[in-house]
Structure 1
Amino acid sequence: MSLSRGRPYLAIPGPSVMPDAVLNAMHRASPNIYSGELIDMVASLLPDLKRVACTDQEVAIYITNGHGAWEAALTNLFSRGDRVLVPATGLFAHGWANMAERLGVSVRRLDFGRRSAIDPAEVEAVLRADRTHSIKAVMTVQVDTATSVRNDVRGLRAAIDRAGHPALLVIDCIASLAVDEFRMDEWGVDAMVAASQKGLMTPPGLGFVFFNARADRAREAAGLVTPYWDWRPRATPEVFYQYFCGTAPTHHLYGLRAALDMILDEGIGAVWRRHATLARGVWAAFDAWGRAGGMEMNIADPAMRSHAVTTIRAGGDNGRRIQDWTARHAGVTLGIGLGMETDEDPQSAASFRIGHMGHVNAHMVMGALGAVGMALHALEVPHGPGALEAAAGVLAEGVTASRRS
């Protein structure tokens, strides 16, 4: 017997759960790509994307995934031989740095490991030592989905400013946009990359690069820019096809329109608060389970944890066992351990991840936690009591506090 019959729940850190409204918007015949409603609808996307990113600057849309958005940002900002500083807190900042190196950019990495956030003071020290201002940009991720760390973007800008350095601040918000608080203009971010499949609740296939005037001035001298990745015609096209350097990704755009309508109807501040509350509920459950000593959250400090995903260290091969059990018997797919290998812990099988981003609510999160609790019992993984009660209490208090305010 299996208890997995019924609607499955993909509780991974992207692609996230797709709302029915998004899927329904995409379930339509192909539109005319030369005139009519598509042209007007795309024009409406740009200001709404900017509202989600809290910016008045420019945005370019690409038919790509997050890695393509990485490359778009790199090719518009840099030339071969340019130097960048990459503070890394997990898998994905290193991945972006690797891509930059393959394009001929010289990368200096500050590796903060897999269990802590970036220390802005160390970034400041490196920039103060760069008296010739040879470092063109500080480039990192706001949230690393492998480790579930969340970095202080505002603190990084403050570190750059204290050093009196002209470096651009370039941020990957692929996992965090429309989940964790992000204010591009207020926080002094010069360029930001994002993708459709996480907080934006749209199937994988769209990438975004937001950029301000300082970043666009760097584009003037960028030797890596190519016709396809060039952000200028996409952000300010003379004719419609330049938005996408060819045929538009029509059905993704209809889905994105529906997703943005949902986000803006809720309000971006309410979206951030919902994700923060749901994340605290998840943390409360794992705090309770971890009291038996067999399990812990990868990021100990709650202030450094993502509101999009939580990475759990379960020991041995328990991460893989728990993930396999919930998928087979409860209909809940958890995220695999990713990028967590170390000399002391050589197997990602020891960890798993639970995504809580995008189109998620209290009963979905409680259901996923209930499935994890079932697996812990069935697999006899040591765990403390009271996890679901703790999560329910945090979520209930979150609702009460919201109503008071």
Structure 2
Amino acid sequence: MTSQPGRHFLQIPGPTNVPDQVLRAISAPTIDHRGPDFASLTTELLTSLKPVFGTSGPVVVFPGSGTGAWEAALVNTLSTGDRVLHVETGHFATLWQRMAAGLGLYVDFVPGDWRHGVSPEAVAERLTADSARTIKAVCVVHNETSTGVTSRVSEIRQAMDATGHPALLLVDTISSLGSIDYRHDEWGVDVTVAGSQKGLMLPPGLGFNAVSEKALAASRTARLRKSYWDWQPIIEANRRGFFPYTPATNLLYGLAEALRMLEAEGLPAVFARHDRHAAATRTAVRGWGLEVLCVDDREHSSSLTAVLMPDDQDADKVREIILERFDMSLGAGLGKLAGRVFRIGHLGHFNDLTLAGTLAGVQMGLQLAGVRIDPNGLTAALDVLRSE
């Protein structure tokens, strides 16, 4: 593609745009990861991370992806042959259950339609039926990046508690942490999985596990093989401000700056900003006469919106036109949604004018692709932004 003036609009639902101040922090000279300055950095970081997860417990930081953090959650808490309950909410929930099976776990996979989140009632039904208590963990994707559907984690935990079942609750927050209200301790989550490249406003390269006391206890008897992903040596080294192997030093500089930015704005304001941008986006989609993939008003994502195209239209063709004409990247449909949806990311370092430009580009692209829409969709979205 030929070079175009202006900045590229990266409106996929992650990796997201990295703020200039975070990029500058990452570019600082690397320091000795065995020295006292690094120990101070680590201690500050691990303290600052806890409010973002909503926890007072340990947060383990890995040089790795969110997928690695998935694996860490499983191998630290479970043993070969253990039974785990996964619910099909979309592409990433499906990938996580495949990983579990590949690790030697027995997966009880509850099918879904990719338009709804996890049903608390379905989880309770499966756990109630498990009178022998063979299910050791329930694995939930909080915000399904492939569909724009957010599951109600607090209600899932309440449903689990009502059954009296001792299963652990493992939650993927890769596209929700730092963008959508989340409370590890209050909601009774045992392992929270996260990555650096979305709401935390960093490049890819860091994976996270927030860990409950119950999960730590399970890790002492878990027998799945692990080495790199083992929590215990990391938590032990972190007490002194260090890591048991070479950390991603410069990404940690960026993380420190990103956490300062989140603290300065205030997490309630961050969540409110994402909520209103999501509401404006859904207003545009419905104003155009198109359909939002998520069908439950309680479960709309504030990180992204997946747009379902008419049967006679190719979502990938629309994305191609928008990229070529307006230098804007939108998220593709994944798995069984390929060609049927495109995804608008509105998370991370993002403001009203960026959203207005994004929606204008989408509207023009839809028109150029010959999709029949009402052009007042953009105006309706701008009305939402003006009203706040």
TM-score, normalised relative to structure 1? 0.92
Structure 1 segment 54-65 matched on structure 2, within 5 A: 54-65=54-65
Q: How many residues align?
A: 387
What is the aligned counterpart of 2:375 among 336, 360, 385?
A: 385
Matched, 1:326 2:332: no
User: Could you say which residue in structure 1 is the equivalent of 2:384?
Assistant: 394
- 1:281-320 aligned at under 5 Å gives the runs 281-290=280-289, 295-315=290-310, 316-320=312-316
Give how far 1:4 is off.
4.7
Query: How far is 1:369 from its partner?
Result: 0.3
| Paired position in structure 2 for 1:193 | 193
Q: Distance in 2 between matches of 1:233 and 1:153?
A: 30
Q: Does 1:133 align with 2:129?
A: no
Q: Distance in 1 between matches of 2:8 and 2:331?
A: 14
- The 5-angstrom pairing of residues 202-351 of structure 1 reads 202-237=202-237, 243=243, 245-290=244-289, 295-315=290-310, 316-341=312-337, 348-351=338-341
**2:268 is matched by which residue type in structure 1?**
G
Q: CA deviation at 1:240?
A: 5.6
Amino acid paired to 1:314: M
Distance 2:336 2:269 in 1: 32
The alpha-carbon distance between structure 1 residues 252 and 230, as it changes in their structure 2 partners (threshold 3 A), is same
Query: Is the CA contact (8 Å cut-off) linking 1:4 and 1:329 kept in structure 2?
Result: no
Percent identity between the two aligned chains: 39
**How far off its partner does 1:216 sit?**
0.7
1:66-81 to 2 correspondences below 5 Å: 66-81=66-81
SS of residue paired to 1:304: coil
- CA drift at 1:276: 0.4
Distance 2:272 2:357 in 1: 20
Aligned Cα root-mean-square deviation (Å): 1.7
The residue aligned with 2:152 is 152
CA contact (8 A) 2:80 2:224 kept: yes
Amino acid across the alignment from 2:139: M
Cα deviation 1:24-48 (Å, max 9, x = unaligned):
0011222122213222111111111
Partner Cα separation in structure 2 for residue 323 and residue 106 of structure 1: 39
Per the TM alignment, residue 225 of structure 1 is displaced from its structure 2 partner at its CA by: 4.5
Q: CA deviation at 1:385?
A: 3.2
What is residue 353 of structure 1 aligned with on the other side?
A: 343
CA distance in 1: counterparts of 2:134 and 2:227, whole angstroms: 27
Is the contact between residue 88 and residue 111 of structure 2 (CA under 8 Å) also seen in structure 1?
yes
CA contact (8 A) 1:318 1:381 kept: no
Per-residue deviation at 1:247? Answer: 1.1
After superposition, the Cα gap between the structure-2 partners of 1:305 and 1:339, relative to the gap in structure 1 and judged at 3 Å, is: farther
- In 2, distance between residues paired with 1:100 and 1:318? 33
SS of the residue corresponding to residue 220 of structure 2 reads helix
Answer yes or no: is the 8 Å Cα contact 2:42–2:238 preserved in 1: no
Change (3 A) 1:388 1:4: farther
Gaps of 5+ in 2: none
Deviation at 1:8, TM superposition (A): 0.8
